[in-house]
Structure 1
Amino acid sequence: MDKNQQAIQLMKEQKYEEAAQLFNDIIETDPENPVGYVNFGNLLLHINDTERAERFYHRAIELDSEAATAYYGLGNLYYEKQDFSNAQQNFLKAIEIGLEEADVFYLLGMTFFHQEEYKLAIPYLMRAAELAPKDTEFLFQYGMSLAQSEHINDAKPVFENVLKLDGNHSDAHYNLGVIALYEEDLEGALNQFNQALEIQPEHLLAKNAKEQIMQVWNNSDM
């Protein structure tokens, strides 16, 4: 295990001071290598020292303009600050250089999603789900981007696939209930909302939707 791997392992063990010292040694030993700066930036970002983290990422890019992981780190930094425009630019640059990981596509898609540009989010969230097919969060958000873009027929099987991976995903049940309402299937919608509430009794959206269905049925019986 080389020093970078040792330091990353120390980070995972939450031994941040020891990891920082090791990353510092790595940079002092090889100050022209951008990897040390990226990893130190990741550590600083992890402990919310964003100002210094940003400087380390920029230093890595000064040393290597093709340092994809440095752009990814900057993207994460801006994403955490909800500066989605700058996050997009850096995630796109990382992908353009060749970073082909599910996380970067997911976060790029979510920058568009948070700005309600749902159609623009679709291809990136779809790619994230392709690269990590067992990640329910990636798949769910892909389904949400489809639903929010009114691609209801495409969103439905995506939410169903989420439930195949995690039968206790209350939000997937809720959204299938909403789609059932769209299809005018009140019984199917009620079933989905009930399942969401069984999993998460305080699911307010499911609770409100169920109450509305019950009101419709009670009024129709009058």
Structure 2
Amino acid sequence: MTVYDVARALPGIEELRDRSRGLAMLDAVLSPAWEGRYYSFDAHWSETEQLASMKDGRGGEYTIVLSPAGAFARVFDHESPLSPYGPLADGATWPGVLDGVPEAFGEYLTEPAFLDEDDVHATTACLWRESADTAWHTGPVAFPDLEGHPDPDGSHGLLRLLLDRTPEAYAEWASEYYGTPVDLGAVRHVLALRPLTQEVVTALNPSVTLTDLAEDIAEIGFPPPRP
């Protein structure tokens, strides 16, 4: 799969926002230590923007800016043949990856958080969707001859839990990543964005309380626990 396939499979902006908030809340419960988390969501990235993000701890990441203009997503897979730091790209963002980004998202092409120390946009796949669009868009990327490479730009692997949005997909992934069984019923509860209860939290991580999660709930913009 390439970014073209991913563009057809990603959900709409609001479903993606909700999914991202759920993933971040689940990770906050399963990993109280921030540095161990995979998914995060900042509901207050700016006065008008929210940021969904993922870091896999091995150099792979994505960031998705959600704003009144729509959604802008960048993916960076350091092992991708399209990486600016690989032998094919010669220190530059791969041709076509950022082409066609509309003016509404132009500021993200120079956003310091997405650039390296040489001002290279650290991106192997880029997608965007303006608020009135009915589909995701991507640049005209000419992929090199990579016969047998299943995920040349890293977009499928790194965005996989935004593509497969079943609770089972997250529970299976988290069980492997965190090395512990993950309660499927609790996952369903959180991904549905239902307010947390101590029972649900305990089912996921007995060492965490609702009080412990207060800051995360506020940062993610997750529905607060009922009194």
Q: Which has the larger radius of gyration?
A: 1
Query: By percentage of residues, which structure has more strand?
Result: 2
| Larger RCO: 1 or 2 (CA < 8 Å, sep 6+) | 2
Query: By percentage of residues, which structure has more helix?
Result: 1
TM-score normalised by structure 2 residue count: 0.29
TM-score normalised by structure 1 residue count: 0.29
